[in-house]
A and B are shown apart, each in its own frame.
Chain A
Amino acid sequence: GNSVTQMEGPVTLSEEAFLTINCTYTATGYPSLFWYVQYPGEGLQLLLKATKADDKGSNKGFEATYRKETTSFHLEKGSVQVSDSAVYFCALSEGTYKYIFGTGTRLKVLA
């Protein structure tokens, strides 16, 4: 069945460092791909999405490109801030396999 695999955390970075959180997926067709973020004490919210191959989703300085050939959707940010500390979830949605999430990656940014 469909699944999402994320890199294990926690990831600890200094402010202004470059961030990459890896995400790969397994799907039978052409899923939509998402990154959701859960800030401390808050509910999950959509960060960005891409709905077809080679699309790039972007928001708040974060980017992710839908790579069909490597079945990946890695999250990147050029310069992280303390306020980016959160748990990041990669997800896919295809057919009746609605919104399958990865296990989440905790990011901690130090000042």
Chain B
Amino acid sequence: EAGVTQSPTHLIKTRGQQVTLRCSPISGHTSVYWYQQALGLGLQFLLWYDEGEERNRGNFPPRFSGRQFPNYSSELNVNALELEDSALYLCASSLESGTNTGELFFGEGSRLTVL
């Protein structure tokens, strides 16, 4: 069974540009989570989608946005890129959206460098 897949794996952008990151969850998983892993800051929660709806978002500006498609795949969009957006962006999926006990399955991430 395929795990969580993310694309692209690496990308380089310049300040002010826009980027779209993509995530395909494990088959059957309806919940998708996005995290930002910047150096030394651990995992910062960005967004949670379930059944096509945004359920919660972390403390990030509105230029971070996303969506979830009917097949449960998801996109993360970042507009007006800033240098501090350079980070590893991780996507995770979970089968159990209605509980707090389920396991998150992570992809390997998209590493974004903003110059």
Q: Is the interface of B mostly helix, strand, loop or mixed?
A: loop
Residue of B3, B42, B55, B108 touching A89 (CB-CB under 8 A): B42
Residues of chain B within 8 A (CB-CB) of A44 are 43, 90, 92, 104, 106
B44 to chain A, nearest CB (A): 8
Residues of B within 8 A of A (CB): 3-4, 33, 35, 40-43, 45, 48, 55-56, 90, 92, 100-101, 103-104, 106-109
Residue of B4, B33, B90, B108 touching A98 (CB-CB under 8 A): B33
Query: In the complex, what distance in Å separates the CA atom of A99 from the CA atom of B42?
Result: 13
Query: In the complex, what distance in Å separates the CA atom of A96 from the CA atom of B66?
Result: 18
Query: In the complex, what distance in Å separates the CA atom of A32 from the CA atom of B99?
Result: 10
Smallest CB-CB separation from A95: which chain B residue? B100
Query: In the complex, what distance in Å separates the CA atom of A36 from the CA atom of B106?
Result: 10
Residues of chain A within 8 A (CB-CB) of B106 are 43-45
A101 to chain B, nearest CB (A): 4
Q: Assess the B100–A103 pair: CB atoms within 8 A.
A: no
Given contacts A43-B106, A43-B107, contact A93 B100 (CB under 8 A): yes
Q: Assess the A96–B56 pair: CB atoms within 8 A.
A: yes
